[in-house]
Amino acid sequence: MSRPETFAGPKIRPWSWQAFAFAFIVLATSAGFQGVCVLFGAQLYFAAFLPAVFVVGIVAGAPAAVLAVLLTVPLVWWAFMPPFFEFSPLTRADAHDINLFFLFSVLLIGLADLCRQTMTIINGGGLEATDKTVAPNSQ
Sequence spans of domains, the chain: 17-124
pLDDT per position as a tens digit, 28-54: 999 999 999 989 988 888 999 999 999
Q: DSSP letters along 13-74, please?
A: PTTSHHHHHHHHHHHHHHHHHHHHHHHTT---TTTTHHHHHHHHHHHH-HHHHHHHHHHHHH
Question: How many other CB atoms are there within 10 angstroms of residue 36's CB atom?
Answer: 10
Closest by Cα among 108, 100, 101, 107 to 71: 101
pLDDT band at 124 (very low <50, low <70, confident <90, very high): confident
CA pair distance 57, 105, nearest whole angstrom: 10
Has this prediction a pTM greater than 0.85? Answer: no
Distances (CA, A) of 95 to 13, 91, 101: 33, 6, 10
Task: Report, as an integer, the average pLDDT of 63-86.
Answer: 94
Which range in 34-43, 70-79, 111-120 is most confidently predicted, on average pLDDT?
A: 70-79
